[in-house]
């Protein structure tokens, strides 16, 4: 099973205007520094919720 680890600390969007409209910020606020570990099913659920307008989209962009 694939896991997706998403961390504000590794995101190039951290602190930008896009950060305020990201599902990770929405889920973690105010303790935003802990990484999220999604499995495939959880990631699919987040994408479906975002597509339905129920949560913001994922705006995470990994720094390379």
- Which residues, other chains included, contact 12 with Cβ-Cβ below 8 Å and sequence gap of 6+? 61, 62, 63
For residues 56 and 62, the answer to whether their CB atoms sit within 8 Å is no
- Which residues, other chains included, contact 59 with Cβ-Cβ below 8 Å and sequence gap of 6+? 13, 18, 19, 21, 22, 23, 24
Q: What's the pLDDT tens digit per position in 13-26?
A: 888 887 777 777 77
pLDDT exceeding 90 applies to what percent of the chain?
2
Taking residues 22-50, report their average pLDDT: 77
For residues 43 and 4, the answer to whether their CB atoms sit within 8 Å is yes
Taking residues 7-34, report their average pLDDT: 74
Asked if pLDDT for residue 32 goes beyond 70, the answer is: no
Give the three-class secondary structure for 6: strand
Q: What's the pLDDT tens digit per position in 43-59?
A: 888 889 889 888 777 77
């Amino acid at each position: 099973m694939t896991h997706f680890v998403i961390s504000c600390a590794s995101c190039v969007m951290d602190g930008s205007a896009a950060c305020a409209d990201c599902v990770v910020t929405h889920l973690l606020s105010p303790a935003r520094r802990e990484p999220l570990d999604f499995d495939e099913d959880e990631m699919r659920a987040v994408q479906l919720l975002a597509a339905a307008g129920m949560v913001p989209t994922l705006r995470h962009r990994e720094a390379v």
